[in-house]
């Protein structure tokens, strides 16, 4: 399958290509399927960091379709990782729904990076949804002793079983927020609660990754209204509503 102009652009930006092989299939919830992949040498070449993501290529009526996904439980020693797919109508979801052990998928690594906040934050404030839930889980795992407040926007009742919603640590507070009005309910809850929880902005770390419009709105609020330094924030729209 050719990759069109996107593939050419990624090559020009020194994207590295790998072939992944499905080794296991698990339905995490009725709306989330987890596929385990043999990494084709990817993790050895790229290393591992929190929120590590990769571009995956899917067939779509004869044309290439690529989507970015955060890795779940990357294991460099075992040369394997998992990816969680939200099950809805779309090329990636259709491929994942039909995938079986032995199926292969092309991947491109380009652009993924993470710099841990220095000094270590007194508390993390993480805002996301099921698309960014694996990234949130990786941050909680990478900084296990840092307490966190998490706002996780949900689409289905079963989203409460996603890893980011089940941290298992007493010093984390997780708030599940049903998606309403194109993210307005999530934004409202964060705007209401965060000012009282934040403390010293220079000692906090605020990470936001949900739909693009909500992410931009909250990023402006955090930086302009709450005066959180840019070095203590991260905001990235994961998808467009």
Which part of the chain has CATH 3.40.50.80? Answer: 123-235
81 pLDDT above the threshold of 90:
yes
* pLDDT above 50 for 12: no
pLDDT-derived band at 6 (thresholds 50, 70, 90) equals low
- pLDDT over threshold 50, residue 5: no
pLDDT score of 196 more than 90: yes
CATH code for the structural domain at 123-235? 3.40.50.80
Q: What is the DSSP letter of 170?
A: T
pLDDT attached to residue 70: 92
**Sheet with 148-154, edge to edge strand ranges:** 172-178, 148-154, 123-129, 204-209, 233-235
pTM of the model: 0.85
Angle of CA points 77, 22, 134, to nearest 5°: 70
Quick one: CATH architecture of 4-109?
Beta Barrel (2.40)
Q: Where are the alpha helices (DSSP H) in the chain?
A: 4-12, 42-46, 91-98, 133-142, 184-197, 212-220
List where CATH 2.40.30.10 sits in the chain. Answer: 4-109
Phi, psi (rounded to 5 degrees) for 179: -70, 125
How are beta strands 123-129 and 16-29 bridged, if at all? unpaired
Q: Between the CA atoms of 41, 46, 48 and 49, what dihedral angle is there, to the nearest 10 degrees?
A: -160
Examine the pLDDT at 110 and tell me if it is beyond 90: no
Output the pLDDT for position 164.
Answer: 62
Tokens of 21: 């092989």
Tell me, what's the pLDDT at 168? Answer: 56
Q: Are 128 and 236 in contact (CB under 8 A)?
A: no
Q: What is the mean pLDDT of residues 46-51?
A: 92
Q: How confident is the model at residue 15 (pLDDT cuts 50, 70, 90)?
A: confident
Give the pLDDT mean for 148-172: 76
């Amino acid at each position: 399958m050719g990759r069109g102009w996107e593939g050419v652009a990624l090559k020009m930006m020194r994207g590295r290509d790998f072939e992944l092989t499905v080794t296991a299939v698990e339905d995490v919830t009725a709306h989330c399927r987890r596929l385990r992949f043999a990494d084709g040498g990817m993790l050895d070449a790229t290393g591992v960091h929190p929120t590590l993501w990769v571009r995956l290529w899917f067939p779509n009526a004869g044309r290439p379709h690529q989507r970015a996904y955060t890795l779940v439980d990357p294991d460099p020693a075992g040369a394997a990782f998992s990816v969680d797919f939200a099950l809805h109508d779309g090329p990636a979801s259709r491929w994942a729904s039909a995938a079986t052990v032995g199926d292969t998928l092309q991947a491109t690594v380009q652009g993924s990076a993470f710099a841990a906040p220095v000094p270590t934050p007194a508390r993390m404030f993480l805002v996301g949804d099921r698309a960014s839930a694996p990234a949130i889980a990786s941050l909680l795992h990478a900084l296990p002793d840092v307490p966190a407040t998490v706002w996780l926007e949900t689409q289905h009742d079963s989203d409460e079983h996603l890893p980011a919603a089940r941290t298992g640590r007493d010093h984390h507070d997780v708030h599940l927020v049903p998606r309403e009005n194109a993210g307005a309910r999530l934004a409202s809850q964060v705007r209401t609660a965060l000012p009282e929880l934040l403390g010293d902005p220079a000692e906090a770390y605020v990470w936001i990754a949900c739909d693009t419009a909500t992410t931009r709105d909250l990023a402006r609020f955090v930086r302009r209204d709450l005066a959180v330094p840019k070095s203590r924030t991260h905001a990235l729209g994961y998808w467009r509503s």
